[in-house]
Amino acid sequence: MNRRLLLIVIVLGSLVGLFVFGTESENPGASTFSVLGPPGMPFAPTQVGINSSWFCAGVPATSQRGGDVIVTNPTAVPLRGRITVFSTSRKVVMQDISVGARDSGSFALEKLATGDYLSAFVELDGGLGMVEQRVRHPNGRSLSPCSNAPSSNWYLADGITLSAGYDLVVTNPFPDYTNITVSVLTADGVRTPAKLQNQTIAGQSVLKIDLEQFGLRDEQLLAIEVNSTPERVVVSRAQNYYGGLGRNGYAMTLGAPSTDNRWFFADGEKADNTSESLTLLNPSELPASVTVQVFTATEGGDEFVAVQIYDVAEGSVVKVDVDAIAGLPNGRHALVVNSPEVGIVAEQVITRGSGGGAVTVVSLGARVSSKRWWVSTALQDVNEAAMVVMNQTGESGTFSLFTLGPGGLQPVPGFQKVALPAASDFVGGFADVDLTGTGLIGQPILVETTVDSVVLRRPNRGTGLKGRTSVLAVPEI
């Protein structure tokens, strides 16, 4: 990666910042990983007979904190496998698991091992199944699908330490040691803390990196690249927001294990007491020309479509103020980020509410196309926008909902062949899914569409906490 340092402010439709980035058995034997594809967005495999491996982001396991691994079995026969738990204490625990036919199982990691952070590696015999993790934290629950593969390169485009805690959590699932190098972009340029260059991580262990302990305090921009050798790792970001930049809440999310040319965001909104931005990271050694499309859901000539182009220099970050896009009306919208020549990483930051009632969600966009998406971790309540279905095409289509239960997939009355609009003949649309009064609680849900789509769910943050988060569903590929 280019190691030059540069700080520039540019105007591209709205004000953005450009910063250059420097280019239960203990201690079991090693597991054999079955990787189903190159590192990318988590997906549900459809090929029968091949064992699948899932690598989870990690959960905090100190006082009043913990987390669960949720395994969903969509098949007609019991699903068996193993959970191996790694920890910051370097103790490894393995437990055999079994999930009944067309059912889900939840496994609390803090009941299996101890440490500041615990990370799970899940193997499923026969391959078919889905794995997610859910963090239980006083400042809000955080749900995320687990990765299908570790990677030698990880990227986190957004992050702050201004009135916020930031732990970088790195898991080495292999039995041999590995070394990592961490590069950090701040508003003042590139930081390469000496102790995070060629940092050794023991085999089958978790490393917690508190960024404030490395002099990264009160930062309003933290973009991170992690490289590892000789082994691949899993990298995640634990952010506890308490007021900085108006953000509030807790999130534990996987980084991006690779760059991509297209990113889809279904959960945009312009409203009072709501702020939205995109963070575009170009970690390559080539400049990128990035197009951002923003569109509303309505058809019949009332739709709004905006297209803006941003130059993202090599090894740099651009912050896009979505609220400032000219003509963008109040209400819901979706976004597509395109960088056809150079792979980038795109994250959305959206905060709804203000003060202590604010809820911030930072999430990677979707980067695949599918017509079948699983809400594999059952919703615990429903509302008028419990899910969002985004049309990735310029053609109108439909979507249908099915619940998974003992009798197999059952169609949900009133949600068969529901209209899924296209905003124009060259860009997709979306539909909020109002599940009020349906009683669709405690059951995995399958969303089928007639066009390529993205599905996002909006679970609550936990008992007694206001607001909702946004989590991509799991696509079948």
CA atoms of 126 and 275, how far apart (whole Å): 44
Q: For the chain, what percent of residues have pLDDT higher than 90? A: 77
Go through the domains of the chain in sequence order and give each one's CATH number.
31-241 (2.60.290.11), 262-364 (2.60.290.11), 370-475 (2.60.290)
CA atoms of 44 and 371, how far apart (whole Å): 12
100: number of Cβ within 10 Å? 12
CB 56 within 8 A of CB 80: no
pLDDT score for 63: 86
pLDDT score for 269: 95
CA atoms of 118 and 152, how far apart (whole Å): 20
pLDDT score for 5: 27
How long, in residues, is the chain?
Answer: 477
Give Cα separations from 57 to 42, 236, 375 (angstroms): 12, 5, 18
| Interval 227-252: pLDDT, tens | 999 999 999 999 999 999 999 999 99
pLDDT score for 301: 59
Q: How many CA atoms lie within 13 A of 223 on its CB side?
A: 29
Helix (H, G, I), strand (E, B) or coil at 368: coil
Q: What tokens were used for 449? A: 């569409």
Quickly list DSSP for 405-451.
ETTEEEEPTT-SSEEE--SSSSS--EEEE--TTS---SS-EEEEEEE
Block means of pLDDT (10 residues each) for the chain, 477 residues, are 30 37 48 60 85 96 94 96 98 97 97 97 92 95 96 98 98 98 90 92 98 95 97 98 95 97 96 97 97 80 86 95 96 96 98 90 96 95 90 94 96 96 76 90 96 95 84 96
**367 backbone φψ class: left, alpha, beta (φ>0; ψ -120 to 50):** alpha
Report helix, strand and coil shares of the chain as percent, to nearest 5: 5, 50, 45
| Interval 252-265: pLDDT, tens | 999 999 999 999 99
Helix (H, G, I), strand (E, B) or coil at 236: strand
pLDDT score for 20: 44
pLDDT score for 13: 34
pLDDT score for 10: 28
